[in-house]
A and B are shown apart, each in its own frame.
Chain A
Amino acid sequence: MNETETPIRSPAAPRTNQPKQSLRSESLLRLSGVCLARQGRAILADLDLDLHEGEIHALVGANGSGKSSLAYAIMGCEGYRPDAGEIVFDGRRIDALQMHERARMGITLAWQEPARFEGLSIGDYVRIGARGEGVEDCLRRVGLDPARYASRATDKTLSGGERKRVELAAVLAMKPRLAILDEPTAGIDLLSLDALIEVIEALRSAGSTVLLITHQAEVASHADRASQLCGGRIVFRGDTAQVLAHYRLRACQRCDGTICHV
């Protein structure tokens, strides 16, 4: 841990199933038959995914399985508009919307490797699109002392872990309806893992649905439901424990019958 970071919050309590009881079964986000090819190569293939409002949904899969591409497709990143299929958010097709329009509908993305900005302070960065907690509270939640960090630039002087925390703080401040967290624990020290899980729970408590993209079973186990992605398709979905058990087999059967060793 960087010496200027503080250990964040107390470790998360062991997961219980109580959040599931408060889950609403309405679909907030639905992807149907989504296909995406880049440079002649299929990235997402006839992909279906359904996120319930208020749930934490883990998306697991090996490197190159299409997890981040799926996140970019939902967010509407340039070059990730589906070639076929539809993406429906809150009952409205969003395929043709630009990123900022989707963000204004309540979708946001915490990047696996967040961009860095010269001359843009952490406080100002977190304030962009903020409509939830105050900037200082959000920084504290991710273990950054506002007095030391709010005026620092979001530039290359921040460590990877610090930048990831800032990204999470920005998402918290937005109070989004759907937060896509792309490998939020990558680059974060083990001591902070539990606290980051607390942050994810806090997002849900504030009303956000969370799509949690991760390699780490320990992190994914905090989700209500999970899906396993392989070769651009969802190959297994449902109860988190079952999906993780399947994922731990380190192999999965593709829809075309071939075996993929992950």
Chain B
Amino acid sequence: MSDTGPLVDLFSAAGFQPPPLAEAAHLVAYGHTLASLKSLPGIRIEAAATPDGLVAEILVDAGVRAAPPLHLCLGLHRGLALQNVRLTITLQPDAEITVLSHCLFSTPQAARHAMDADIHLMEGAILHHQEAHHHGPSGSIEVLPRARVMLDKGARYLSDFSLVQGRVGWLDIDYTVAVGEDALAELVSRVYGWGSDRIRIVERLSLDGAGARGLVKSRVAVRDDAQAEVRGVMAGNAAGARGHVDCMEIVRDRATVSAVPEVRVRHPLAKVTHEAAIGSVDSHQLETLMARGLAPDAAVDLIVRGMLA
């Protein structure tokens, strides 16, 4: 089964480079239609289309350390207006993999993509998850990613979500991560909203095991009439747990942002810190670039793009 033809158009519309799928483990779906799927030794991908949406499962065997990334290409185009995905990812002990998710929605009409994921990293497993979105120019897309992540002892979950080109539409991210003993979770989200875009990001890390470490980092820029709400929640529940919430938001025009870094400590030997900065573009940064000859608009754009890079 392979129908990756529309992918070229979707990647082209997003300005992204199409991934080399031929040799890589991958799953490609348009709406609820499974277009292409490839497993590799030690990396099993199963998927099925159901009346309610797409159900997919990725299992990486113990000790498998796959160098080439696994590609998840999820798209809505032409007349497609709905994509529900139920995803399960399990990394067995000491497995390590990079998952590149390309979520490309170029459909011109109102559309909805909902992801519901359960991710389990067993002892010593490592998952690098880079999720790049492009929601097209219409601003009429609803995107609702949900994930529950469980990290066993010594596991590492490194997630990087970016939506910095095109319109956002309505984005509502809700991730919860339980971090076990000596495990590490880093969640980075970078979003650029404009027009009438709406952004809501909620990321909760619960540092439950001794020595657990966590970082929630958000970088959001909004302009025009866009609105954003960012909540980073970090709970230190065990001895030696260390966590940090870092929110930085740039606001321009009539846009609004609320950033709520929330820290909770339930163990005397845990330590959780936070920092949040919301404001217009830093005037010193702006003037530094203008003193190099950049016009104000170009300087602002460079600062915002840098923050979101």
Contacts and interface: CB of A to CB of B under 8 A. Distances in A.
- On whether the two chains bind one another, the answer is yes
Interface of A: 75, 77-78, 98-100, 103-104, 108-109, 111, 114-120, 128-129, 170, 174
Contact of A129 (B248, B282, B294, B308): B294
B13 interface: no
Nearest to A105: B293
- Size range of the interface on B? 20 to 34
Contacts of A119: 305-309
Interface string B283-309: 111011111111110010011011111
Interface of B: 219, 248, 282-285, 287-296, 299, 302-303, 305-309
Given A78-B283, A78-B287, A99-B287, A118 B292 contact: no
A30 B29 CA distance: 67
**10 pairs of A and B residues whose beta carbons are closest in the complex:** A119-B309, A119-B306, A129-B292, A99-B290, A103-B293, A129-B293, A120-B306, A115-B288, A128-B292, A100-B290
B13 to A, nearest CB: 25
Contacts of B296: 98, 100
Contacts of A120: 302, 306, 309
Contacts of A109: 291
A100 B285 contact: no
User: Interface on chain B toward A: helix, strand, loop, or mixed SS?
Assistant: helix
B304 to A, nearest CB: 10
Contacts of B303: 117
Nearest to B292: A129
10 contacts: A103-B290, A114-B288, A115-B284, A117-B285, A117-B303, A118-B248, A118-B306, A118-B307, A128-B294, A170-B292
A100 B305 CA distance: 20
Given A115-B284, A115-B285, A119-B305, A98 B294 contact: no
A118 B294 contact: no
B293 A100 contact: yes
Contacts of B289: 128
Residue among B283, B285, B288 with most chain A CB within 10 A? B288
Nearest to A100: B290
B282 A115 contact: yes
Nearest to B190: A119
Nearest to A126: B292
Nearest to A79: B283
A128 B282 CA distance: 18
B292 A108 contact: yes
Contacts of A128: 289, 292-294, 302
A196 B22 CA distance: 54
Given A99-B287, A100-B290, A100-B293, 18 more contacts: A75-B291, A99-B291, A100-B299, A103-B291, A103-B292, A104-B293, A108-B291, A111-B288, A114-B288, A116-B285, A118-B219, A118-B306, A118-B307, A128-B289, A128-B292, A128-B293, A128-B294, A174-B293
Of the candidates A75, A109, A118, the one having the most CB atoms from chain B within 10 angstroms of its own CB is: A118
Contacts of A75: 287, 291
B294 A100 contact: yes
A117 B282 CA distance: 10
Nearest to B307: A118
Given A118-B307, A119-B306, A100 B295 contact: yes
Nearest to A80: B287
Contacts of A116: 285
